[in-house]
Structure 1
Amino acid sequence: MILRPDLAIIADHVDPGARVLDVGCGDGALMAALRDTRGVDARGLEIDPANVARAVGRGLPVIQGDADLDLAGYPDASFDYAILSQTLQTCRAPDQVLDELLRIGRRAFVSFPNFAHWRVRLSLLWGGRMPVTRLLPEQWYDTPNIHHVTIDDFRAFLAGRAVRIEDAWFLSKGGARTSTGANLLAEHAVFLLKR
């Protein structure tokens, strides 16, 4: 199974045998890979009922729920990792969701599209309209992305909340790139966090 590049990074860095909660797990692709290649005990929470059905069809323990509403019921430190991949920017209260992730998981992976990428900036500058790109394909009125976060925004947000960055990866065109100039040059970011 070929994973999306940010999911592949996460899969490569989850300890074998770990307990994982994948929040916004989609169709369960990451959970299935972790189960099959790392022996991980993975659980999922997904808002879209069609994705829940696909994940359950893969034999995965996924429940329908909303990251903004349904994380409070999980006990403290009940997972080794809490994962939020390409979901942060769709949450109504991303600050609260991040607090819940770091309460539930001993560590948290967070990945998101970087809205400060040069193509997004150029689209706004020259076209004067919200960008539609390969990685952000929806029109402004139809996008699930309600918080347009940048890498620098996220770093400042974490610093203000005493959250430690254990590692970070930056992606462009599906491949890894260095952290130099990442806010301008990276299309996606993946952070491993700990409180």
Structure 2
Amino acid sequence: MTHTLGRPDFDVIAGWIEPGHRVLDLGCGDGSLLKHLQETRGVRGVGVEIEDANIVAAIRNGVNVLQGNLEKGLDEFADQSFDHVVLSRTLQTVRHTEGILREMLRVGREAVVSFPNFAYWKNLRAVLDGRMPVSEDLPYQWYDSPNVRFFTILDFDALCTQMGLTIKERRVLDEQGATVNAQDDKEINFLGSLAVYRLTQAR
């Protein structure tokens, strides 16, 4: 299977977004996801990014982008001003995890989150061999990683329960981007390299 821009989570996210929806992409990088959503779904999108080089790249990609630090919240955005607020492979770099999830669901009707799963079997094998894992979805060496959190699919499920968030959909992918189908959550947690969640506030 060929995935959009080499990012299988982009394909999952695009499948959850209706044409013409309003999308806020947090930590948007070079704007690749928003550009894809604009071209394929006709979304009205805004990105938030902190790195100057990424902001320049996003503008070149034709994406509306604001410079901002996610750790300081999303005060510049009104309640429920977006249909979807996306945090793609960025949650593990954020210190105030609960705060950003709450802000995402204040600003948007739905939050879409993807993250690398630390309990993926190749990562566990690396740790058992005495080394921090480096993989397709955790591509950094320990000494130059932007990641400040290392957590698993089961950890994130538990956090959603604790925060009273509803998991509307969950897709777990292997390193090739194929959906993991397994008997139970423990097996999915072992076989999945990347998780993508669609969240809402519990009613």
> Structure 1 length as normaliser, TM-score?
0.95
Shift of 1:137: 2.2
- Tell me how far apart the structure 2 counterparts of residues 73 and 124 of structure 1 sit (CA, whole Å): 41
| 2:34 aligned partner | 31
Shift of 1:135: 2.5
In the alignment, residue 139 of structure 1 is paired with which amino acid? Q
Runs ≥4 residues deviating over 2 A: none
Q: Could you tell me which of 157, 167, 170 is aligned with 1:168?
A: 170
| 2:131 aligned partner | 129
Write the deviation string for residues 123-168 of structure 1: whole angstroms up to 9, x where unpaired: 111x212112233221111101110010000000000011000001
The more displaced of 62-71 and 100-109 is: 62-71
> Is 2:24 the partner of 1:18?
no
- Tell me how far apart the structure 2 counterparts of residues 119 and 111 of structure 1 sit (CA, whole Å): 19
- Tell me how far apart the structure 2 counterparts of residues 73 and 61 of structure 1 sit (CA, whole Å): 15
Q: Which runs of 5+ in 2 are unaligned?
A: none
CA-atom RMSD in angstroms:
1.3
Match runs of 1:71-86 below 5 Å: 71-86=74-89
> Is 2:94 the partner of 1:88?
no
Write the deviation string for residues 44-87 of structure 1: whole angstroms up to 9, x where unpaired: 00122111111111221011111111412211101000000000
For the structure 1 residues 105 and 179, does the alpha-carbon distance in structure 2 shift closer, same or farther, using more than 3 Å as the test? farther
Contact 2:117 2:153 in 1 (8 A): yes
- Tell me how far apart the structure 2 counterparts of residues 171 and 184 of structure 1 sit (CA, whole Å): 11
Match runs of 1:33-48 below 5 Å: 33-48=36-51
- Tell me how far apart the structure 2 counterparts of residues 73 and 42 of structure 1 sit (CA, whole Å): 15
Q: Could you tell me which of 183, 191, 195 is aligned with 2:189?
A: 183
The share of aligned pairs that are identical, in percent, is: 45
In the alignment, residue 153 of structure 1 is paired with which amino acid? D
> Structure 2 length as normaliser, TM-score?
0.92
